[in-house]
Amino acid sequence: MGNIGHLADGFASALTPMNLMFACLGVLLGTAVGVLPGIGPAMTVALLLPVTYNVDAASAFIMFAGIYYGGMYGGSTTSILLNTPGESSSVVTAIEGNKMAKAGRAAQALATAAIGSFIAGAIGTALLALFAPTIATQAVKLGDPSYLAIMVLALVAVTAVLGSSKLRGFISLFLGLAIGLVGIDSVTGQSRLTFGIPLLSDGIDIVVVAVAIFAIGEALWVAAHLRRRPQEIVPVGRPWMGREDWRRSWKPWLRGTAYGFPFGAVPAGGAELPTFLSYVTERRLTKHPEEFGKGAIEGVAGPEAANNASAAGTLVPMLSLGLPTNATAAVMLAAMVGYGIDPGPTLFTSQSDLIWTLIASLFIGNLLLLVLNLPLAPVWARLLRTPRPYLYAGILFFASLGALAVNLQWFDLALLLVFGLLGLMMRRFGLPVLPLIIGVILGPRVESAMRKSLQLSSGDWSGLVSEPVAKIVYALIVLGAVGLLVVGRLRRPTTQEVTS
Amino acid sequence: MTIVVGYVTGAPGEAAVEQALVEARRTGARLVVVNGTRGDAYVDTRFSQGADVDRLRSHLEASGVQHEVRQPLGPDVADLILDAAEEVGADLIVVGLRRRTPVGKLILGSTAQRVLLDAACPVLAVKP
């Protein structure tokens, strides 16, 4: 197997002292931001995008991967100890986890979350190493029309499936696509949406948009809601598990992994759906139904495993097709573009070393997280005492620095403020951030794929469906859209009956 | 007569409440316990919650002194105590002292010190 040889090479380059240091830095940062609600791995990677200017690609991606996995671990700590999810993916963990902590079983809840995350992460990463190269070799054969169809599927699915309001999702998506249009048209040389400002003709740098939406928007939002009643935190010692806890945890871990990975791998997967499904399954299968709602360990073990497995699954479309399906993957993709790497099916052939080093570092980061998190949980919990003004002052500083570093122009700082205000307004009116970011990142690629397809068919619309894969994918989109509409219709009367 | 107590979770807070109860019994005063927080962090360990606030309330209940527990939110905890004292027309403020290094005092300031300097009525400072 060539892939095992590649993976071994990957481990060799990921285990150099320098890269190991970046992996450590990544998991530490990732756990810290995961613990803090409101600050997530996507914002952190966005703030760290400027390091890509002088750190080599492998080291930077090793660090980003550590942040990505670390965020999942940190999020569960906050969920369990504070009943506030640190990350959106650990919402479900809070249901049983905090009950366990209040019943004096915080140590066991943290342990099953950490060990479950480790096992799911390891299995998920192994599956990633197995599937991604295969999918990539198939995907290379796809032409522009098929590729366009798959990207459109991802855009529609991310927007329509996640979040409660489809209208808000699509508003956010189209805002993102519009931002992606700004600049000179690469084919005809016309200026688009530049409002006569020459500085806009190069387009808006994705670093500025990502940092503004994630960091400035969040900082302004927090500033508007600065003082809130502090929450009660459950004090905790070193996490550990008894024999009974192991016995009750291992099956939920594996089932959670089985849910998480496929959901992460399909576009529009995300972690919310599989964690919830895992919770419902564990609730049905448990031998201790009386404990559910009062702190059942299965209700922590399953969703936490699902959460980490879906994080690994998300990397499958990202590495094999260049399709990001969550915010962190989207920002990592922006970093790839920053390095001049063309994300897409050719990654595994053209950037083989980089990709395998990244996959190897995921295994290493996962192990580091387990080793770090079991003894350090009480230390991470102390981070929650940091006053928000200190925290967000730091974030604003790095955000401004990052935006300025793009071109060393004041104009980027002005853009940062404008998009920061947009981010604040999106939070105020409940628009999801993810469709916008994915729209900005995929928009230009969707456009180029569409124009290439149309050029091949000399402007004839039938060129868009000239390949069988494209036809199938468009059929899926139509089926999915009709399905959503039908489900929405069917659901409405029943809810009315319940309320009346 | 009314006595305002600055309460925090921990030994200095306990000591202040104990001393205030002694004063309240001696003078027959009403007790207003102020446990403020800046509320700018997810967790404030000196803000009384859950079991701690329950214990405080039952302790006050058992003492038989007329009392009230306030947990206000504001930018400066010392101001929260001083505002409460002004509002109820306090005759005495009781605060607990804790060890602060000179550097810690320089950076973080001291709530007890601010109360001592700015209070309009006598202040009783208690060490745990």
Radius of gyration of chain A (CA): 22
Position A415 in a domain: yes
Cα A60-A65-A335 angle, rounded to 5 deg: 45
Asked whether residue A471 is assigned to any structural domain, the reply reads no
Site of tokens 């299995």: A123
- In this complex, do A388 and B41 lie within 8 Å of one another by their Cβ atoms? yes
CB of A43 closer than 8 Å to CB of A215: yes
Residue owning tokens 């409460």: B84
For chain B, the residues whose C-beta falls within 8 A of a C-beta of chain A are: 37-45, 47, 49-50, 71, 73-75
- Measured distance CA(B116)–CA(B93) in Å, rounded: 9
Q: Would you state the structure tokens that stand for residue A296, as one six-digit string?
A: 């059942």
Domain ranges of chain B: 2-126
Q: Spell out the alpha helix ranges (H) of A322-387.
A: 327-338, 347-350, 352-382
Across the interface, whether the CB atoms of A386 and B41 are under 8 A apart is answered: yes
**What's the rounded Cα separation, in Å, for the pair B106 and A45?**
35
Beta-bridge partner residues of B6 = B34
DSSP string, A427-493: HHTT--SHHHHHHHHHHHHHHHHHHHHHHHTTT-GGGGG-SHHHHHHHHHHHHHHHHHHHHHHHHHH
Bridge partners (DSSP) listed for residue B2: B30
Host domain of residue A96: 2-142+191-437
String of DSSP letters for A197-217: -GGGGG---HHHHHHIIIIIH
- Binary contact (A230, B50; C-beta < 8 A): no
Alpha carbons B43 and A232: distance in angstroms, whole number: 7
Q: What one-character-per-residue DSSP string does B24-81 give?
A: HHHHT-EEEEE--B---SS--TTS--THHHHHHHHHHHHHT--EEEE--B-S-HHHHH
Q: Is B39–A232 a contact, with Cβ atoms under 8 angstroms apart?
A: no
A:424-483 residues touching chain B, CB 8 A cutoff: none
For chain A, the domain total comes to: 1
How far apart CA A446 and CA A431 sit, in angstroms, is: 22
Quote the pTM value: 0.86
Longest dimension (CA), chain B: 41
State which fold the B2-126 domain adopts: Rossmann fold (3.40.50)
Query: Among residues 90-129 of chain A, which lie with CB inside 8 Å of chain B?
Result: none
CB contact under 8 A, A227 and B73: yes
Which residues partner with B70 through β-bridges?
B34
A230-273 pLDDT, tens per residue? 887 787 777 888 888 888 888 999 999 999 898 888 876 577 78
SS3 A377: helix
Note whether A227 contacts B38, CB cutoff 8 Å: yes
Cα separation, A88 vs A84, in Å, equals 10
Tens of pLDDT, residue by residue, chain A (500 residues): 578 888 888 888 888 899 999 999 999 999 999 888 888 898 999 999 888 878 888 899 999 999 999 988 888 888 888 888 777 778 888 888 888 888 888 888 999 999 999 999 999 999 999 888 888 888 888 888 888 898 898 888 888 876 668 889 899 999 999 999 998 887 788 888 888 888 888 888 888 999 999 999 999 998 888 888 888 778 777 788 888 888 888 899 999 999 989 888 887 657 778 888 898 888 888 888 888 888 889 889 999 999 899 989 989 988 888 888 888 888 998 888 888 888 888 888 888 888 999 999 999 999 999 988 788 888 888 888 888 888 899 999 999 988 888 888 899 999 999 999 999 999 999 888 888 998 998 888 899 889 888 888 888 888 888 888 888 889 988 988 888 788 777 765 544 444 33
Chain B interface test: which of A77, A79, A231, A391 (most B C-beta within 10 Å): A231
**Spatial distance between the Cα atoms of B21 and B35, rounded to a whole number of angstroms:** 16
Residue A181 falls within a domain, yes or no? no
Q: Return residues 209-228 of A near B (CB < 8 Å).
A: 226-228
As a whole number of Å, the CA-based R_g of chain B is 14
Interface predicted TM-score (ipTM) of this complex, two decimals: 0.78
Q: Would you call A388 and B50 a contact, using CB atoms and an 8 Å cutoff?
A: no
Both tokens assigned to B69: 């527990």
Given a contact cutoff of 8 angstroms between Cβ atoms, the answer to whether A368 and A65 are in contact is no
Residues of A in contact with B75 (CB under 8 A): 227
Helix (H, G, I), strand (E, B) or coil at A158: helix
A362 in a domain, yes or no? Answer: yes
Smallest CA–CA distance, residue B80 to chain A, in Å, is 14
Give the integer Cα–Cα distance in Å for A356 and A263.
23
For residue A111, being part of any structural domain is answered with yes
Q: Which residues contact A439 (CB under 8 A, 6 or more apart)?
A: A155, A172, A173, A174, A175, A176, A177, A179, A180
